[in-house]
Amino acid sequence: MKMEGETVYLKKNLTEWRFSQYPKYILLPIDENHNQNISNTKNVVFSEVTPRPLERNIQLVCVSEDALMNILDMDPDIVNREEFAEFVAGQKLPYGALPVAHRYGGHQYGSWAGQLGDGRAHILGEYVNSQGDRWQIQLKGSGQTPYSRIHDGRAVLRSAIREMIGCEACHFLGIPTTRAAGLVVSDETVIRDMYYNGNPRRERAAVMLRLAPSWFRFGSLEILSKNGEVAVLRQLSDFIIKEYFPDIHLSDENRFIRLFSEIAHRTLDLVAKWQAGLGFTHGLLNTDNMSLLGLAIDYGPFGFVDSYDGGFVANCSDGEGKYALGKQPDVVIWNVGQLANALKPLLTSSQQGHMSHILKTLDTYCKNKILETFLMKVGLKEERWGDEQLVEKLLDMMQQTGADFTSTFRQLAELEPSEMVHEGKLEDKWSLKRLSSHPSWGCWLDQYRERLDKEAVDANSLGLFEDERRRRMCSVNPVYVPRNWLLQEAIADAEKDDFQKVRFLLETMRNPYEVQPEAERRGFSAQPPQWAFALKISCST
Ligand code: AMP
Ligand code: MG
């Protein structure tokens, strides 16, 4: 355990970097005998299986220096050693590795899809870092497992870049999320029909080094419950409580209710941050993509909405818009309902009644969290009468004018008092200019100004209050999010072996709340180009 002020020794090579403790997951049932596809295995949580490494011409695309140093205790120079890329490619297993693939199921687009599982990911082991935190180290794209079904076990470069930048950006934007430390690409290819429209092409395969305290999902419990594997369901639920929810006691007869309540509320806290904090649309909100720790997990066809639209659909394969931005809270609450169903076999009938009661409160809880988040974004510390309408009106105007989500809030944060009047010039505030074309803008701005003045009453001087307000708002309204057009440009270059843009975007997203000159020069916070609005992101990965 690191003491305050103590410097951490950063490991310089992979001989020094090792799994020095057994992973806790060896306490759970692991199938040791299958290398074949399994569609009907029972009573296991993992299958032992070694990665199938990428071999041909491995190149390191990018790393997260923060994840390397602060999670893995690695010296950033380690990435200059060939063995690092070989490790990420799955060629070199660290000392003490015990690779497994996890068995889970899931509801996809509202229907039970049966057993899914890690079809292309291997958990290698658990690294206990210098802070004393235990992280599960996973490779994604590292070859077939018993859960691959008809698939090839690989991930393509474009999807790996999206996940790597997506999760690292979300971390720095303040979203609880799984992490990624590095990404390699090889000359090995796989075939993908990106838009599922009969145009398959060869794409290069990539592997990502992913990190999370745990990779368990709602579907981890659902599969056991659906199949009537109640003893293992109880064992896994108790394991999760013991390892990840230390405030819940294993001797507590209501522990599964408490577990459910904690996961439900964490998950809704997450969705409120997505909705109100960032305009983030996950794109594939199946229960196999819902973390039991309330983390954002499995970034595929996600999108940060540009022009605000509650109907924004990030995933072009979601024709009906089931997972549209504005529907996420309802979808997530429905998913939480599936988690409740999964836990039912562990509950008495009165406990089931208690759980139904908790479920009924979630809608209001989520709405309140979303409002709370929006109030912070517009610089209001606590709710007063009329605030909800103020926020709703702003969103209506944004929806009707197509004003940009990220930049509207940031530019409101940066508004000078002289600009807070109806005919204010709004200088270079391109998103507010667009918003101000709405007939109600002037009236809304007057109300907003008045409301802020009420907030300032207690402040000693209005000038001081203004500075403080701007600082506070800038700390919750990012300048940069990884917009689809930025990702797309970075991916296009990476496909030609030029990784500069990927690395620069990753670097910029380390400080998303700070204006950065080079990112400004590259237009990262400017109006997105017209082609950005025609971009289609599919769930093909
Ligand atoms: P995802 O869309 O990545 O969340 O994946 C949904 C399910 O399909 C998971 O069980 C994945 O492991 C599996 N899957 C997706 N792509 C592949 C692939 N190329 N090879 C094997 N399994 C895959
Ligand atoms: Mg998934």
Whether 119 lines ligand 1, by a CB cut-off of 6 Å, is yes
Hey, is 458 helix, strand or coil?
A: coil
Which helix (H) or strand (E) is 212 found in, with range? strand 201-212
Q: Which distant-in-sequence residues (6+ apart) come within 8 Å of 74 by Cβ? A: 10, 11, 17, 68
Q: Are residues 160 and 38 located together in one domain of the fold? A: yes
Q: Which residues of 455-490 are buried (b: 16+ CB within 10 A; e: fewer)?
A: ebeeeeeeeebbeebbeebbebbbbbbbbbbbbbbb
Between CA 450 and CA 529 the distance in angstroms is 35
Q: How far is CA 225 from CA 230, 238, 336, in A?
A: 6, 14, 15
In a domain, 276, yes or no: yes
If asked whether residues 64 and 205 sit together in one domain, one would say yes
CA of 298 to the centre of ligand 2 (A): 5
Cα 530 from Cα 541, distance rounded (Å): 25
Query: Shortest CA distance to 459 belongs to which of 470, 448, 475?
Result: 470
Smallest-distance ligand from the CA of 113: 1
Among 196, 215, 234, the domain boundary falls at 215
Q: Are residues 47 and 155 in the same domain?
A: yes
Q: Is 9 helix (H, G, I), strand (E, B) or coil?
A: coil
Q: Please check whether residue 507 lies inside any domain of the structure.
A: no
Residue 43 shares a structural domain with residue 191: yes
User: Does 398 share its domain with 343?
Assistant: no
Active-site residue among 288, 298, 306, 318?
A: 288
Q: What is the pLDDT of residue 420?
A: 83
Give a yes or no: residue 299 inside a domain.
yes
Name the 3-class secondary structure at 179: strand
Query: How many angstroms separate the alpha carbon of residue 289 from the centre of ligand 2?
Result: 5
- Please check whether residues 266 and 295 belong to one and the same domain: yes
Task: State the Cα angle at 140 between 139 and 146, rounded to 5°.
Answer: 95
Domain boundary among 359, 376, 393: 376
Residues 201 and 238 in one domain: no
31 catalytic residue (yes or no): no
Number of domains in the chain: 3
| Residue 117 near residue 215 (C-beta atoms within 8 A) | no
Per-residue confidence of the chain (541 residues) as pLDDT tens digits? 556 667 889 999 999 999 989 999 999 999 997 666 677 789 999 999 999 999 989 999 999 999 999 999 999 999 999 999 999 999 999 999 999 999 999 999 999 999 999 999 999 999 999 999 999 999 999 999 999 999 999 999 999 999 999 999 999 999 999 999 999 999 999 999 888 888 899 999 999 999 999 999 999 999 999 999 999 999 999 999 999 999 999 999 999 999 999 999 999 999 999 999 999 999 999 999 999 999 999 999 999 999 999 999 999 999 999 999 999 999 999 999 999 999 999 999 999 999 999 999 999 999 999 999 999 999 999 899 999 999 999 999 999 999 999 999 999 999 988 888 777 778 789 999 999 999 999 999 999 999 998 887 766 666 778 889 999 999 999 999 999 999 999 999 999 999 999 999 999 999 999 999 999 999 999 999 999 988 989 888 8
Q: From the centroid of its chain, how far is CA 284?
A: 11
Q: Residues with Cβ within 5 Å of ion ligand 2?
A: 289, 298
Same domain, 203 and 324: no
382 and 370 in a common domain: no
Contact 100, 122 (CB under 8 A): yes
- Asked whether residue 463 is domain-assigned, the answer is yes
Confidence (pLDDT) at 158:
97
Question: In which domain, by residue range, is 290 found?
Answer: 219-376
**Between vectors from CA 55 to CA 23 and to CA 89, what angle results, nearest 5°?**
35
The verdict on the CB of residue 469 being under 6 Å from ligand 1 is no
Task: Determine, yes or no, domain membership for 259.
Answer: yes
**Whether residues 347 and 230 fall in one domain:** yes
Last residue of a domain, one of 453, 476, 499: 476
Asked whether residue 263 falls in the same domain as residue 183, the answer is no
Identify whether 229 is part of a domain: yes
Give the ligand at the shortest distance from the Cα of 105: 1
Kindly state whether residues 400 and 356 are assigned to the same domain. Answer: no
Separation of CA 374 and ligand 1 centre (Å):
35
